[in-house]
Structure 1
Amino acid sequence: MAYVQALFEASGASRADAQEALIAAGVSAALLEYPLARVTEEQFAALYRALVRRLDDEMLRFYSRPLRPGALKFTCLSLMDARNLGVALHRWTLFLRMLQDDFRLDVETSEGLCRVALRPHAGRPPAAPIADDLMLKLVHGVCSWLVGCKLPLERVDFAFDAPSFAEEYVHLYPGPVRFGQSLSALYLDAAWLREPLRRTAQDLPDFLHRAPEGWMFAEFRHQRLAHRVRGYLSTHLPHGATAQAAARALHLSLRTLHRRLADEGTSFQRIKDELRRDLAVQKLTRTREPIAAIGAELGFDSAASFHRAFRLWTGQTPGAYRGRGDSAPD
């Protein structure tokens, strides 16, 4: 919910706009008071689409000129007949100059790396942090769609300090994220610039229909180990959800598993807790399943231990969370 709050603040959405978007997404407005509350990817996407309709801007008034609905469609149409990704990115730099005045898209190659950076124009006020975040996410998502796989990133830089929800960025980018840098930019192996494009105009309607899921939340083919562990755990809760079992399934030694997760800035227990937290939120808001049964399904040995963990994750008990954010059908 902290991410949703940042979205509302950066867009300048009125109370009525925010309320309408929350209703469209099936999210209780009461949850805005709880930054640690969770929304699903589907709910966030529905909320984003509702804001686009209300604000008549595909980038939610983040910039001085709106990107009217249809901007993404014609951007993709202008790129997809390029002979490779490098040509498509060059075209995008030119296309964006016609659409907005706040920044330019810089594409530079050096020492085998391609940097795609958002360079603010002199005299323009700095963009809100979430504007840089979502613009880079859009660039990465569209480029990945064009070549037919999620592009692995060497790293992502942001020209703003780490927000309170910085740990969530591991789920948004297939590469390490750094804050407090001079420019917001993503880095990928320059060899990808030679990759041919694999999309046609016939593929575009489905991509647009799924926006923003198609460029925000699609699965990564080149996954970090943390994503692979989460995938394993999602099918093995509550039984078999141990580090030893995960290491065997992923053909790693236990020591290697822990070391590589530490290199990615996380741990097995943290991934397990985050997955159980997210599944608990989904079950509490989408079903009438008894709270004790939810805790048991997630591997807790008692209702009390589930209550303690959920309060630690969200600041609320499962019952209070269900009461404030309940949107499940009767």
Structure 2
Amino acid sequence: MKKPAPDPRLSSQSRAATPIAFIAAILAGYRRYGADPANALARAGINPTLLQHPEARVTASQMEIMSGAAMQELDDEALGWFSRRLPWGSYGMLCRASITSPNLGVALKRWCRHHRLLTDDIDLRLEVSGSEARFTLHPRRELGELREFCLVTLLRYVLGYACWAIDSRIALQETRFPFPPPPHAATYPLLFPGPVQFNAYAAGFSFDTRYLALPIRRDEAALRTMLQRALPLTVLQYRRDRLLVEGVRQFLRSPDKGGATAEQVAEHLHVSVRTLHRQLKDEGSSLQQLKDDTRRDHAMTLLDRSRKSVKQISALVGFANEKSFTRAFRTWTGLPPQAWRERNQAAEGGSTPMEWGNRPAR
């Protein structure tokens, strides 16, 4: 038999970071169906002897090629996870059922509902509580040795599709898994940036509910193009975050965060400093501009709503002295702080901040 030629995508391999355990899980699917994985391993350029070394890693390209070959050879996009096959094109159907949604919230609800038509072995749920949205997976049958790979891959499917659909990175508040940390636990933050909790009640991730209101920015033509190479969405990170600017603003509004460094802001948002500066620039902003905006708004509020002196306010909003604060405030508003306060008090009928709480309702 002629040996399969390596896939051309291997010519530009990335850093090997995908655990060999995930390749072993794919081979478990082959065993379930009594199929031979030799062709897929050869196409992906994976030496079978690597499977004897738990610490071994493969590249994202190798994982993509191996997964795609296995899905087609086994005619099962679930790779043996469930009690029935999910034929090639099943998850593409879920994408098509969701792409016409007005926003991400509706798209994810449709995804959960339509996934039940494919299999009832696992239950997908989207729950909202206050400012937190939770996407969770609840197996309804034992998944055995495929449990970890199934839960990790399904969450990456959903996260990758959601980011692609709204053309934005989704900052995760936390990702949870209902099993102990595996030997390759260090890989998880690469797949799910942000805090990762093991031994949790259920698998899932949480994020800011504001992402749910973002509109779907893709159409059928874009979907057809994406589905030609959809698997990279399960291993690669989306770079742009359409809520990043607001996330920075929210962080800086905390009284003790006004002077935060770029490193502190980036750590809070689970991005690198380089990514923080690049994405802010893409949105037509900068960290210094957002700091200035936050200081300005805080200063205006204190001038309008308190009886603190200009000197006290200058210190509260992070200025070294009253002179530099006055100079900056004049640049922001065209008026020095005291003139701003007097003008606004006059507009309120000459009342002082202490009197505002006693004014009769109009």
Q: What TM-score range do you get, normalising by the shorter chain?
A: 0.5 to 0.7
Alignment of 1:218-237 (within 5 A): 218-222=237-241
Query: Alignment length, in residue pairs?
Result: 231
Greater Rg by CA: 2
Once residues 144 and 104 of structure 1 are traced to their aligned partners in structure 2, the CA distance between those partners, rounded to angstroms, is 21
Matched, 1:42 2:86: no
Question: Which amino acid in the other structure matches residue 78 of structure 2?
Answer: M
Question: Which amino acid in the other structure matches residue 129 of structure 1?
Answer: E
Q: Does the aligned pair in 1 maintain the 2:60–2:235 contact within 8 Å?
A: no
Q: Does the aligned pair in 2 maintain the 1:112–1:189 contact within 8 Å?
A: yes
Q: What percent identity do the matched residue pairs reach?
A: 31
Deviation, 1:10, is: 5.7
2:119 to 94, 100, 112: 100
SS across alignment from 1:117: strand
Q: Provide closer, same or farther for how the CA distance between residues 153 and 12 of structure 1 changes in structure 2, counting only shifts above 3 A.
A: farther
Matched, 1:203 2:248: no
TM-score when normalising by structure 1: 0.64
SS across alignment from 1:17: coil
User: Which residue in 1 is equivalent to 2:106?
Assistant: 87
Once residues 195 and 149 of structure 1 are traced to their aligned partners in structure 2, the CA distance between those partners, rounded to angstroms, is 9
Q: Provide closer, same or farther for how the CA distance between residues 160 and 33 of structure 1 changes in structure 2, counting only shifts above 3 A.
A: same
Once residues 10 and 188 of structure 1 are traced to their aligned partners in structure 2, the CA distance between those partners, rounded to angstroms, is 32
SS across alignment from 1:81: coil
Q: Does the aligned pair in 1 maintain the 2:191–2:237 contact within 8 Å?
A: no
User: Which residue in 2 is equivalent to 1:281?
Assistant: none
User: Which residue in 2 is equivalent to 1:70?
Assistant: 89
Once residues 27 and 126 of structure 1 are traced to their aligned partners in structure 2, the CA distance between those partners, rounded to angstroms, is 26
Once residues 215 and 32 of structure 2 are traced to their aligned partners in structure 1, the CA distance between those partners, rounded to angstroms, is 40
Matched, 1:29 2:36: no
SS across alignment from 2:79: coil
SS across alignment from 2:172: coil
Question: Which amino acid in the other structure matches residue 140 of structure 1?
Answer: L
Deviation, 1:260, is: 4.7
Once residues 35 and 45 of structure 2 are traced to their aligned partners in structure 1, the CA distance between those partners, rounded to angstroms, is 15
Once residues 118 and 136 of structure 2 are traced to their aligned partners in structure 1, the CA distance between those partners, rounded to angstroms, is 17
Deviation, 1:17, is: 2.9
Q: Does the aligned pair in 2 maintain the 1:12–1:61 contact within 8 Å?
A: no
Q: Does the aligned pair in 2 maintain the 1:157–1:177 contact within 8 Å?
A: yes
Structure 2, gaps ≥5 residues long: 1-19, 242-260, 271-362
Alignment of 1:1-330 (within 5 A): 1-9=20-28, 12=31, 17-121=36-140, 124-126=141-143, 128-222=147-241, 260=267
Once residues 267 and 92 of structure 2 are traced to their aligned partners in structure 1, the CA distance between those partners, rounded to angstroms, is 39
SS across alignment from 2:207: strand
Q: Does the aligned pair in 1 maintain the 2:136–2:202 contact within 8 Å?
A: yes
Once residues 34 and 126 of structure 1 are traced to their aligned partners in structure 2, the CA distance between those partners, rounded to angstroms, is 24
Once residues 191 and 50 of structure 1 are traced to their aligned partners in structure 2, the CA distance between those partners, rounded to angstroms, is 37
Deviation digits for residues 94-118 of structure 1, max 9, x if unmatched? 1011110112111111121000111
Deviation digits for residues 280-299 of structure 1, max 9, x if unmatched? xxxxxxxxxxxxxxxxxxxx
Task: Give RMSD over aligned pairs.
Answer: 2.5
Once residues 216 and 171 of structure 1 are traced to their aligned partners in structure 2, the CA distance between those partners, rounded to angstroms, is 8
Deviation digits for residues 229-274 of structure 1, max 9, x if unmatched? xxxxxxxxxxxxxxxxxxxxxx757xx69x959x97xxxxxxxxxx
Deviation, 1:11, is: 5.9
Runs of 4+ in 1 over 4 A off after TM superposition: 13-16
Q: Provide closer, same or farther for how the CA distance between residues 149 and 199 of structure 1 changes in structure 2, counting only shifts above 3 A.
A: same
Q: Provide closer, same or farther for how the CA distance between residues 105 and 34 of structure 1 changes in structure 2, counting only shifts above 3 A.
A: same
**Structure with larger RCO (C-alpha < 8 A, sep 6+):** 1
